Structure 1
Amino acid sequence: MTPQPSISRTRPRDLLAVGLAAVLVGNLVIRLFYSSIPSLPLAAGVVLGVLGIAELVGGYVLRGRIERRRGAPPVDPLLAARAVIVAKASAVAGSFVTGLWAGVLTYTLPLAGDVTAAAGDSVTAGIGLVCALLLVGAGLWLEYCCRTPDDPDTDDRPERLR
């Protein structure tokens, strides 16, 4: 019998590593091509915020069903597994995009006083950064919400304090 792979929690250090690598990539790309690209669209960042809000709401609803609040129907295990996959993917993707927006912001913000386009792009990058962080938080929240009440990993206290 082969052991079943287990899905581990998303580690913050992994998200930080992805984000830091993306900061470098984003800053390098924007330095090389900033003069030849059009202004950054505001919708590029806002879309991630909308996805983050949807995941926050979905996590709350799913958590209620897992805990069987107010007679909620049980959650299909396959649905919960899919939600965990979406949560992990959202956290990693949000971390990457957060890094990209931070890389853009580190280049455009110092230029904002002298270049009109950089001022507008700084605002767009700031909004995109906040929305991408919202997606990271929502992904982590959804992952947390998918834990079962009897999951031993749910209690984060050390063994001696339980």
Structure 2
Amino acid sequence: MGPTRVRDLAAAVAVTTVLGYLLVRIVYRWFPPITVWTGVSLLGVAVAVAGWGFYVRARIRDGDIGVGVNRLHPLAVARSVVIAKACAWMGGVVLGWWLGVAVYLVPRRSELRVAAQDFPGVAVAALCALALVIAGLWLQHCCKSPDDASADAEPAPD
């Protein structure tokens, strides 16, 4: 399992944006109201993941990895990498969705009152999804071994 590539995440965001836009064109009239609180739960997850990243980074830097009292188990770090990758990918997909909704709403804000009312909630949700992507990438970065020089290198193409 290699590090998550930003270009792969960007591609996922772009594809999801296009698919989201096409779906929103069909079903927007049945959407419930989108408030500024719609995507804030993603921000809570992003803060928790980023906080865990700082914790793991400090423990790795201090050499507190291994089995024993008050040490971070290596499997906990490996599980953290999986969580980091999942957060980055899920945040990317959700970001693409909200960008697709925003692309639909922006030109219609002047003609549809509900589009103007929904746009702030969409913008907040997209920013919270971006925060989740960044937090996932941060946690993944924090889980690197300090003496692993290959972790910074781009993985070889398949």
What TM-score does the superposition give when structure 2 sets the normalisation length? 0.88
Relative distance call for 1:96 and 1:155 in structure 2 (3 A) is closer
TM-aligned CA deviation for residue 155 of structure 1: 5.0
- Residue 18 of structure 1 contacts residue 96 of structure 1 at CA under 8 Å; is this kept in 2? yes
Deviation per residue, 1:31-66 (Å, 9 max, x gap): 001112221243331111111111111100111011
Please, which of 135, 142, 145 is the counterpart of residue 145 of structure 1? 142
The residue that corresponds to 1:3 in the other structure is none
In the aligned structure 2, how far is the partner of 1:8 from the partner of 1:41?
Answer: 37
Relative distance call for 1:95 and 1:155 in structure 2 (3 A) is closer
TM-aligned CA deviation for residue 24 of structure 1: 1.0
Q: Which residues in structure 2 correspond to 1:35-74 (within 5 Å)?
A: 35-68=29-62, 73-74=70-71
The residue that corresponds to 1:76 in the other structure is 73
In the aligned structure 2, how far is the partner of 1:140 from the partner of 1:155?
Answer: 13
**In the alignment, does 2:122 pair up with 1:125?**
yes
TM-aligned CA deviation for residue 113 of structure 1: 1.8
Query: How many residues were matched structurally?
Result: 150
The residue that corresponds to 2:156 in the other structure is none
SS at match of 2:39: helix
- Residue 35 of structure 2 contacts residue 120 of structure 2 at CA under 8 Å; is this kept in 1? no
The residue that corresponds to 1:160 in the other structure is none
43-52 or 55-64, larger mean C-alpha shift: 43-52
Relative distance call for 1:155 and 1:10 in structure 2 (3 A) is closer
CA RMSD of aligned residues (A): 2.0
TM-aligned CA deviation for residue 143 of structure 1: 0.2
- Residue 65 of structure 1 contacts residue 73 of structure 1 at CA under 8 Å; is this kept in 2? no
Q: Percent identity?
A: 37
The list of structure 1 runs, each at least 4 consecutive aligned residues, that deviate by more than 4 angstroms after superposition, is none
AA paired with 2:24? Answer: I
Deviation per residue, 1:72-91 (Å, 9 max, x gap): 94320110011000000000
In the aligned structure 2, how far is the partner of 1:67 from the partner of 1:153?
Answer: 18
- Structure 2: segments with no counterpart, 5+ residues: 154-158
